[in-house]
Amino acid sequence: LLERDVGGFSALLADFRKDDLRRMHKLFNRIDGGLSPLATQFRIFVTNKGAELVATFDTTKASNSEAVTDFVDRLIQMQDNYQTLLTECFDTQLFSKAMKEAFESFTNREIGQAGSKTTCAELLSTYCDILLKAGGEKIGDDAMEEKLEKIVRLFTYLSDK
């Protein structure tokens, strides 16, 4: 169940199949120590998805506000999606720790090649700068506050603040 390509835990995560993920959590929870392998698979899956997202960022566009905004918005969306899975399917400390470790692993890596490197910390800071300079003109105060709260959550994963 854990490692099957079709219908396995990773496939359920990829498809965000919440009902099936809840059932799998409930099943593995009946076994003493059964949640540990699930949490490990969850951490590996989120780490890989995050690494894929980070790898897609073109560091030559680090000064392009649209590219930075797109990247950080996708990072926020990813965090929201997996936080929803945590809340609705795996509400345990073990899975929260796994998600924290996963996000820490890929948000603290350098992005890019030797000539043009950047970090998630720099991109998040640039995003905040873009957001605050634009002010509430493009988005309302509530939406601005919500975005800033999500950015702060992402900042908690960074070791280079």
Q: What is the pLDDT of residues 76-104, one digit of tens each?
A: 999 999 999 999 999 889 999 999 999 99
- Walk along the chain (161 residues) in steps of 10 and give the mean pLDDT of each run: 69 93 93 92 95 88 88 96 94 93 93 78 91 72 87 90 55
CA nearest to 69, candidates 111, 130, 152, 139: 130
Q: What's residue 1's pLDDT?
A: 61
- Tell me how many helices (H) and strands (E) the chain has: 7, 2
**pTM for the whole thing?**
0.89
Longest dimension (CA), the chain: 54
